[in-house]
Amino acid sequence: MRMILVGPPGAGKGTQAARLIDTYGISHISTGDMLRAAVAEGTELGRKADGFMKAGELVPDELVIAMVIERIGKSDCENGFMLDGFPRTRAQAEALDRELEKAGATLDAVVLIEVPDQLIVERITGRRSDPQTGRIYHMIFDPPPEEIADRVVQRSDDTEEACVARLQKYHGETAPIVPFYEEKGILVRADGVGSPDEVTERIKTELEARR
Instruction: List the catalytic residue out of 88, 169, 189, 204.
Output: 88
Catalytic residue among 2, 13, 123, 202: 13
The yes-or-no answer on residue 128 being catalytic is no
Of 48, 166, 189, 204, which is the active-site residue?
Answer: 166
In angstroms, the CA 49 to CA 82 distance is 22
Q: How far apart are CA 205 and CA 188, in angstroms?
A: 10
Identify the active-site residue in 74, 98, 155, 184.
155
Is residue 123 part of the annotated active site? The answer reads no
Find the catalytic residue in 2, 123, 127, 202.
127
DSSP secondary structure of 144-158: PPGGGTTT-B--GGG
Catalytic residue flag (residue 90): no
127 in catalytic set? yes
99-105 long-range contacts, Cβ below 8 Å, gap at least 24?
99/65, 99/66, 99/68, 99/69, 100/69, 103/69, 103/72, 103/73, 105/2, 105/69, 105/72
135 is catalytic: no
Task: State the catalytic residues.
Answer: 13, 88, 127, 155, 166
